[in-house]
């Protein structure tokens, strides 16, 4: 990626020499990151997929859930939370856990709760700025939010995702280590049994999309 630098030398694949620490990844967002319906969510498939590629990763955050097969269960997926609530706590979390990579998936509750939807993208920009002010070298992957079954809400989702992608382009031009992950087109309504949250297949699709982005960056 033209705007990226290689990951720090202290990070490595699990096949490298002893003493290298795992890559610290913070899953950040709302109930989709938490794993609504399926505790652990996309993390269940993402960790073994990355390790099969030779990368030792560690999920970090103040929360923890998932099956016993998920060896690293930490995350910052807060059910029901909106962008501004994540923004209020992000400095504390970054200073505590010092992630190398952030997987940010947020905005669904701003749309679903009809909470100041018109300014949601502005507040997303504030969150992104706060992340880089606190951790200037962290690699941020900003994902589009999934579709919603309610047509009017879904139009809001489409608009929000478009502005999110434009935000990423703007930050890249400023030299920020950020990339966009298109999850909206990855998922269909068949993957969202309640019209909002993914089922097991949906989480697997999210994991696959994130794995592709992470692998491209780490290579």
Percent of the chain at pLDDT exceeding 70:
91
Instruction: Let me know if residue 162 belongs to a domain.
Output: yes
Tokens linked to 94: 């970054």
Tokens linked to 150: 């309610």
Instruction: Let me know if residue 109 belongs to a domain.
Output: yes
The count of structural domains within the chain is 1
Report how far residue 157's alpha carbon sits from residue 148's, in angstroms, rounded to the nearest whole number: 7
Q: How far is CA 114 from CA 64, 82, 91, in A?
A: 29, 11, 26
Q: How far is CA 5 from CA 23, 104, 179, in A?
A: 15, 20, 12
Percent of the chain at pLDDT exceeding 90:
87
Instruction: Let me know if residue 156 belongs to a domain.
Output: yes
Report how far residue 26's alpha carbon sits from residue 95's, in angstroms, rounded to the nearest whole number: 12
Kindly report, residue by residue over 193-216, the tens digit of the pLDDT.
999 999 999 999 999 999 999 999
DSSP 23: E
Instruction: Let me know if residue 103 belongs to a domain.
Output: yes
Distance in Å from the first CA to the final CA of the chain: 10
Instruction: Let me know if residue 3 belongs to a domain.
Output: no
Domain that holds residue 168: 23-218
* Contact predicate 95/134, CB 8 Å: yes
Instruction: Let me know if residue 198 belongs to a domain.
Output: yes
Instruction: Let me know if residue 147 belongs to a domain.
Output: yes
Dihedral (C-alpha) 146, 147, 153, 157: value to the nearest 10 degrees?
A: 50
* Contact predicate 181/168, CB 8 Å: no
What is the crossing angle of helices 120-134 and 83-97, to 10°?
A: 10
Tokens linked to 197: 């949250």
Tokens linked to 165: 């992608």
DSSP 64: E
Kindly report, residue by residue over 89-117, the tens digit of the pLDDT.
999 999 999 999 999 999 999 999 988 88
CATH number at residue 203: 3.40.50.1110
Q: SS3 for 62?
A: coil
Report how far residue 161's alpha carbon sits from residue 183's, in angstroms, rounded to the nearest whole number: 10
Report how far residue 205's alpha carbon sits from residue 203's, in angstroms, rounded to the nearest whole number: 5
Instruction: Let me know if residue 73 belongs to a domain.
Output: yes
* Contact predicate 44/69, CB 8 Å: yes
> Residue 11 — pLDDT band, cuts 50, 70, 90?
low
Report how far residue 188's alpha carbon sits from residue 205's, in angstroms, rounded to the nearest whole number: 10
Does the pTM surpass 0.75? The reply is: yes
């Amino acid at each position: 990626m033209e705007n990226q630098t290689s990951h720090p030398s202290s990070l490595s694949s699990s096949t490298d020499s002893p003493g290298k620490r795992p890559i610290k990844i913070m899953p950040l967002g709302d109930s989709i990151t938490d794993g609504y319906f399926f505790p652990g969510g996309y993390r269940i498939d993402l960790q073994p997929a990355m390790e099969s590629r030779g990368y030792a990763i560690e999920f970090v955050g103040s929360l923890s859930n998932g099956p016993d097969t998920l060896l690293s269960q930490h995350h910052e997926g807060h059910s029901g939370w909106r962008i501004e609530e994540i923004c209020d706590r992000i400095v504390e979390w970054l200073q505590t856990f010092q992630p190398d990579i952030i997987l940010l998936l947020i905005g669904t509750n701003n749309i679903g709760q009809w909470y100041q939807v018109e300014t949601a993208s502005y507040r997303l920009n504030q969150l992104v700025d706060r992340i880089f002010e606190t951790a200037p070298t962290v690699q941020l992957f900003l994902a589009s939010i999934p579709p919603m079954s309610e047509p009017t809400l879904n139009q809001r989702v489409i608009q929000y995702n478009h502005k999110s992608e434009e935000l990423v382009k703007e930050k890249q031009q400023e030299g920020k280590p950020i990339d966009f992950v298109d999850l909206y087109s990855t998922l269909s309504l068949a993957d969202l049994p309640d019209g909002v949250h993914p089922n097991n297949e949906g989480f697997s699709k999210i994991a696959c999309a994130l794995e592709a982005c992470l692998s491209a960056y780490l290579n």
